[in-house]
Amino acid sequence: MPLIFEHDKPLGPLTTFHIPARAKLYISFENLDRLRQITLSSEFLENEIFILGGGSNVLFKGDFNGLVVHCKIMGVKKYQKDNSTVFAIAGAGESWSDFVAWTLEEGLGGLENLAGIPGSVGAAPVQNIGAYGVEVGSLIHKVECFDLLTRDVITLSGEQCRFGYRDSIFKNDGKGRYIVLRVSFRLSPSSEARNLSYGPLKSLEQELGRAPSPKDVAQKVIEIRNSKLPNPAVLGNAGSFFKNPIIRIYFYREVMASLYQNIPYYETDDPYYIKIPAGWLIENAGLKGYSVGGAEVYPKNCLVLANKGEATAEDVVALADHVKKVVLEKFGVTLHPEVNIIDTDIKVTILGSGTSKGIPEVGCYCPVCRSEAPEDKRTRCSALVETRGVRLLIDVSPDFRQQALKAEITSLDAALITHSHYDHVGGFDDLRPFCAGGNFSVYLRKDVNQDLHRRLDYCFREQLYPGVPSFDMHEITDAPFLIKGVKVIPISVYHGKLPIVGFRIGDFAYVTDAKTIPEEEKEKLKNLDVLVINGLRFKDHFAHFTIEEALEVIRELQPRRAYLTHFCHEIGRHNDFQAKLPDGVYAAYDGLVIHTH
Ligand code: EPU
């Protein structure tokens, strides 16, 4: 059967937020053969992809300029392993709540605490859905996926899924790589419910006068859900908008508990960390019912942001930003969305735009170094790239700590390193705050990795001094790679004679410290919306493009907009220099924010 792609597909009805947005292209699949066929089409290969399940945890921030692939694999079955275990298997496209109801009708216990959760079976392992004392990861036997890299069907065991709180391999290394096809759950034929640990379930036995069955628990859970959570069919929402923040116990005891009484908390598997209910923080920050446009903090449960009817995605994002800001100011705790905010636009923050000595240069009293204009204060080069909810740092300048404070960077997913010169990696130790939740991922070439192992040997020893930063070093080649579903294309360039790397992400590219770009690499820099490229000064330099050389590259590549960076003081004052640049070419400066499109 030929593939029929729908154009300009309305996405509002396919998500529980019911917020209008459109996809450039849309197609659904009911089986593996169809999925294989889709993944070989030019529509799939040439576009940004989003795999849609039940749409219960997603917010499209504007139209999706790519292909939405909707999983509709159906079917449920069970088989008995032994007297105490029955496996139940469901297609990823099945409705989660219908599947749970089916398991209960079949006399199978295990999933009752997770009754009534909107969304699809395929999304359950991705999100590691959890409620009322149970996380689905603890019941997952295996997950069958299509691996887009190898084009094979693979089976991941529960352990291989690396489940964490609202987290799994599918949100990390596997994002953009694995498409969930079917999920198998390890359930029990027992007539007694297993988990009554959550507050209101504890009294169920007493209320009923007998040991509660899985069905009793499901009924109670649905009652609690109905009283606390708005029905998405009536009021658009995506359940909890934020994750419950995990914070250091000493911060709770020594700072928060001394200022505020009775802040509830949950223990975690790590004795040094606790989880605080974000709903409590939002309510106690005075935000109950607060609204922006058509979006409101749901008064009966502040963890939910609801669409009162006419909300736009901008309203929801502005409301979420406001909530984050007020909670951070009041409690010193950063909230992170658990809703997947989908955006094909890219936001780039130029954190530093100066060459290796920065501007002002120490000991220099030239008019540029003495200038009071903020644009003339240039720290060493690095940039923050944000897209599809992923935050990537390009280079870790020696000024990174100040840059992170100024740009209020509270979370990062990974760093991309262009080369190992000190002005691009000198701030590595200041990545420590970003290593708190586990090793911090760094993408770099093999030679750069070896250099950093030498220079930062204290981070890679057998016996580590407590508190040193911990990294996962991912060696890259010339091949494109994925970071949490974001495709990064390395661009090989020469810094004098030294081979180094630039990066293309969507229609944005960042090339610094280049003197030569080989012709075949220039092909990878065609059709850009935004190019950031180095231009050191007017006078020749053996390892950096001059301004004229950079302009020549821009003329050849014809990005829609280009930004020069990595300046020394010889370019003059920012405003004078900008006036000399042709249309569509801008001088970057520290703090500059660029949006693609
Ligand atoms: N609270 C408030 N004000 C509010 C909301 C909550 O003070 O507006 C307080 C409650 O009184 C309680 C505490 O916060 O002391 C916890 O509330 P609740 O038991 O409702 O659970 P939660 O931690 O807010 C999590 C999940 C829910 C899940 C419930 C029940 C997350 C992000 N959310 O919420 O999951 O249903 O536990 O187990 O972990 C979802 O993921 O979409 C979702 C709804």
Q: What is the mean pLDDT of residues 267-281?
A: 93
Positive or negative, the Cα torsion across 509, 335, 168, 272?
positive
Q: Is pLDDT at 438 greater than 90 in this prediction?
A: no
**Predicted pLDDT at 199:** 87
Which ranges of 474-536 would DSSP assign to H, the alpha helix?
A: 519-523
> pLDDT tens, 137-177?
999 999 999 999 899 999 999 999 999 999 999 998 899 89
State yes or no: pLDDT of 436 exceeds 80: no
What are the pLDDT digits (tens) for 215-255? 999 999 999 999 999 999 999 999 999 999 999 999 999 98
Residue whose CA lies nearest to ligand 1 atom number 5: 279
Q: Does residue 370 have a pLDDT over 90?
A: yes
Protein residue with least CA distance to atom 33, ligand 1: 240
Phi-psi region of 116 (alpha: psi -120 to 50; beta: other; left: phi over 0): left
pLDDT of residue 156: 98
CA distance 531 to 563: 6
The residue-averaged pLDDT of 468-491 equals 94
Q: Is 124 in the pocket of ligand 1 (CB under 6 A)?
A: no
The reported pLDDT for the residue numbered 171 is 92
Has residue 343 got a pLDDT over 90? no
pLDDT of the residue at 555: 98
Q: Is the dihedral of CA 210, 216, 219, 224 positive or negative?
A: positive
Q: Are 193 and 213 in contact (CB under 8 A)?
A: yes
277 lines ligand 1 (CB under 6 A): yes
Say how many Å lie between the CA of residue 138 and the centre of ligand 1.
20
Let me know: does 224 contact 204? Beta carbons within 8 Å: no
Question: Would the pLDDT of 261 be above 90?
Answer: no
- What is the dihedral sign for C-alpha 139, 145, 149, 151? positive
Look at residue 345 in the predicted model and tell me its pLDDT.
84
User: With a 6 A CB cut-off, is 301 part of the ligand 1 pocket?
Assistant: yes
Q: Taking a C-beta distance cutoff of 8 angstroms, is the pair 64, 344 a contact?
A: yes
Whether the CB of 580 sits within 6 Å of ligand 1: no
Q: Which atom of ligand 1 is nearest to the CA of 301?
A: 8
Q: Would you say 97 and 115 are in contact if contact means Cβ atoms under 8 Å apart?
A: yes
First to last CA, the chain: 36
The CA-CA-CA angle for residues 295, 296, 300, to 5°, reads 145
pLDDT 10s digits, 524-547: 999 999 999 999 999 999 999 999
Candidates 180, 16, 204; CA nearest to 113 is 204
Kindly give the distance from the C-alpha atom of residue 230 to the centroid of ligand 1, in angstroms, as a whole number: 13
Reported confidence tier of residue 499, pLDDT bands at 50, 70, 90: very high
pLDDT band at 406 (very low <50, low <70, confident <90, very high): very high
What is residue 513's predicted lDDT score, i.e. its pLDDT?
A: 98
In this predicted model, what pLDDT tens digit does every residue of 248-258 receive, in sequence order? 999 999 989 88
In the chain, % of residues over pLDDT 90: 88
CA of 67 from ligand 1 middle (Å) equals 34
Determine whether the shortest distance from the Cβ of 440 to ligand 1 is under 6 A: no
Using CA of residue 283, residue 285, residue 286, residue 291, what is the dihedral sign? negative
Q: 106 to each of 78, 120, 196, how far by Cα in Å? A: 9, 19, 21
Q: Are 156 and 142 in contact (CB under 8 A)?
A: yes
Cα 332 from chain centre: 22
**Which pLDDT does position 389 carry in this prediction?**
83
The bridge status of strand 561-565 relative to strand 178-187 is unpaired
* Residue 182 pLDDT greater than 90, yes or no: yes
Q: How many angstroms separate the alpha carbon of residue 132 from the centre of ligand 1?
A: 9
Q: Side-chain half-sphere of 420: how many Cα atoms within 13 Å? A: 15
| Segment 99-111 mean pLDDT | 97
Closest among 526, 521, 469, 470 to 499, alpha carbons compared? 521
Is 228 near ligand 1, meaning CB less than 6 Å away? yes
Q: What is the mean pLDDT of the chain?
A: 95
332 lines ligand 1 (CB under 6 A): no
pLDDT (tens digit per residue) in 313-324: 999 999 999 999
Atom in ligand 1 nearest the alpha carbon of residue 242: 32
- Looking at 59-68, 122-131, 280-289, which range is the least confident one? 59-68
